[in-house]
Homo-oligomer: A and B are copies of this chain.
Amino acid sequence: MSHTVDSAVSAVRTYIEQHRAVFLDDLTEWLRIPSVSAQPEHTPDVRRSADWLAAALRETGFPTAEVWPTPGAPAVFAEWPSDDPEAPTVLVYGHHDVQPAAREDGWDSEPFEPVVRGNRLYARGAADDKGQVFFHTLGVRAHLAATGRTAPAVHLKLLVEGEEESGSPHFRALVEERADRLTADAVIVSDTGMWSEDTPTVCTGMRGLAECEIRLHGPDQDIHSGSFGGAVPNPATAAARLVAALHDEHARVTVPGFYDGIVELTEQERALFAELPFDEQEWLRTAKSHATHGEAGHTTLERIWARPTAEVNGIGGGYQGPGSKTIIPSSATVKLSFRLVAGQDPDHIEKVVRDWAARQVPAGIRQEITFSAATRPCLTPLDHPALQSVVRAMAIAFEKPVLFTREGGSGPAADLQEVLGAPVLFLGISVPSDGWHAPNEKVELDLLLKGVETTAHLWGDLADTWRHAP
């Protein structure tokens, strides 16, 4: 570490040390607002949370901090232009709404009365996502203090939505509508986590999601399996055969064209994934599963992060009550979801799945297939300059090499990538034990302050990187 970097590190740490108490007091105040977007009785609280955050961002120094209404819960937008007009624009994404929580669900303390025990702050939203939004406030202040600036090295924007825990129903429309205000060269999502306390990581992408329901109609009503069994097609059998045909003996998806255009893992990524201290038995316990199973030629981490899937989320047809009923059911339904990886286009997936499914229908069975709105995958390559900036900033804060993960789930980050045309980077300091959506959600205070420290270094590094980009 050079002397300059060294002194910058010291300056940032000193600033954070001096301001951590106020920072935590403020965060605690915010966490007291039960901004549960899923529960109508908390609608005023979600609005109060947005107002509180906008005020806190103005207090932090953002010249602009607005509450943006949506047909649902409001979002908060803030902007702090750089004094360098050539500086890149960075948009930070997070959310201010939280999951429902009640003491009787198994909390050791009131979920909306934050409490510090040991080095942990317990409250609903502590990690998901108020803590991770809020570290950006102290982060930008530390950045200014350590560098002597009066404005950030990047044009800094924040978009903090209020409906993420309710499936972000109005997010895409909001982003499209406000695209001119949201333009950015890079998006930083602070709503994920890292591998563990000891292993800082940066997430480089999320899988996308396409979902469909396939309904198979046989006889016009349930019919007697004695009178007709063995002589007419059974839609439950047809549903089963369709599902069984989805994968080959290597657990690869058989739908022709399904893997078209996918961005394969590089050898470097595979090697870096393999460096993670992954305990498969421990992972199986988390998955509450009794064996691993997946696409041949890939490790478990590759399968959940970097390979597309076809999973049955539900199947049903005929009699499902106690005992038996000797019928040939009139219909059967299969709900399928496809996790998509970079390079896969949901429209293409819908087309190839429809084509494939249409070929799985036996004579006498009528098929209906309905796709719901899809989420695109997103991925930022390891060598992307902005990603390298995040890695460097984290490495300074954590004093450790930074490894890489991806996220198997799907989220609204993909909307930002798609609408704004900007790469999405993930800066999250939460760890698996933080208990997202569970009782006793907490955030590790040390890690929270590492998040502050990371952003304090990130904006300068990103501005430099952009200046030197080819």
Give the complex CA separation of A245 and B223 in angstroms: 23
- Residues from chain B with Cβ under 8 Å of A315 in the complex: 236, 239-240, 315-318, 320, 332
Give the complex CA separation of A229 and B241 in angstroms: 20
Q: Chain B's nearest CB lies how many Å from the CB of A230?
A: 4
Q: A414-441 CB contact bits vs B (8 Å, 1 = yes)?
A: 0000000000000000000000000000
Give the complex CA separation of A99 and B429 in angstroms: 67
- Contact flag A240-B408 (CB < 8 Å), given A294-B231, A366-B290: no
Q: Chain B's nearest CB lies how many Å from the CB of A129?
A: 17
**A324 contacts B329, C-beta separation under 8 Å:** no
- Residues from chain B with Cβ under 8 Å of A289 in the complex: 218-220, 223, 228, 232-233, 364
Partner of A226, one of B221, B230, B339: B339
Partner of A312, one of B284, B318, B339: B318
Give the complex CA separation of A219 and B209 in angstroms: 22
**A364 contacts B320, C-beta separation under 8 Å:** no
Interface residues of A in 309-330 (CB under 8 A from B): 309, 311-320, 323-329
The verdict on A244 contacting chain B, using a C-beta distance below 8 Å, is yes
**B234 contacts A312, C-beta separation under 8 Å:** yes
**Nearest B residue to A285, CB-CB:** B220
Interface residues of A in 154-201 (CB under 8 A from B): none
**A230 contacts B372, C-beta separation under 8 Å:** no
* Interface-centre pick from A291, A303, A315 (highest chain B CB count, 10 A): A315
The verdict on A4 contacting chain B, using a C-beta distance below 8 Å, is no
Give the complex CA separation of A88 and B392 in angstroms: 100
Give the complex CA separation of A314 and B318 in angstroms: 4
Give the complex CA separation of A317 and B211 in angstroms: 17
**B240 contacts A364, C-beta separation under 8 Å:** no
Please report the total number of A residues contacting B with Cβ < 8 Å: 79
- Residues from chain B with Cβ under 8 Å of A324 in the complex: 211, 213, 313, 335, 337, 372
- Residues from chain B with Cβ under 8 Å of A246 in the complex: 237
The verdict on A207 contacting chain B, using a C-beta distance below 8 Å, is yes
**B313 contacts A230, C-beta separation under 8 Å:** no
How many copies the complex holds: the figure is 2
- Contact flag A287-B232 (CB < 8 Å), given A313-B326, A316-B317: yes
The verdict on A70 contacting chain B, using a C-beta distance below 8 Å, is no
- Contact flag A320-B316 (CB < 8 Å), given A232-B291, A233-B291: yes
Partner of A230, one of B309, B333, B363: B309
**B226 contacts A207, C-beta separation under 8 Å:** yes
**Nearest B residue to A228, CB-CB:** B287
Interface residues of A in 9-41 (CB under 8 A from B): none
**A326 contacts B209, C-beta separation under 8 Å:** yes
**Nearest B residue to A293, CB-CB:** B233
Interface residues of A in 205-227 (CB under 8 A from B): 207, 209, 211, 213, 218-221, 223-227
- Residues from chain B with Cβ under 8 Å of A369 in the complex: none
**Nearest B residue to A225, CB-CB:** B311
**B318 contacts A313, C-beta separation under 8 Å:** yes
Give the complex CA separation of A244 and B243 in angstroms: 9
Give the complex CA separation of A209 and B317 in angstroms: 21
- Residues from chain B with Cβ under 8 Å of A220 in the complex: 288-289
- Nearest first, the 5 closest Cβ-Cβ pairs linking A and B are A291-B364, A226-B409, A240-B243, A244-B244, A230-B309
Tell me the A residues contacting B by CB distance below 8 Å. 207, 209, 211, 213, 218-221, 223-234, 236-237, 239-247, 284, 287-295, 300, 303-304, 307-309, 311-320, 323-329, 332-333, 335, 337, 339, 362-366, 372, 407-410
Given contacts A228-B408, A313-B318, list 12 more A-B pairs with CB under 8 A. Answer: A223-B288, A226-B408, A227-B304, A228-B287, A230-B303, A230-B309, A232-B284, A232-B289, A240-B243, A313-B326, A314-B317, A320-B333
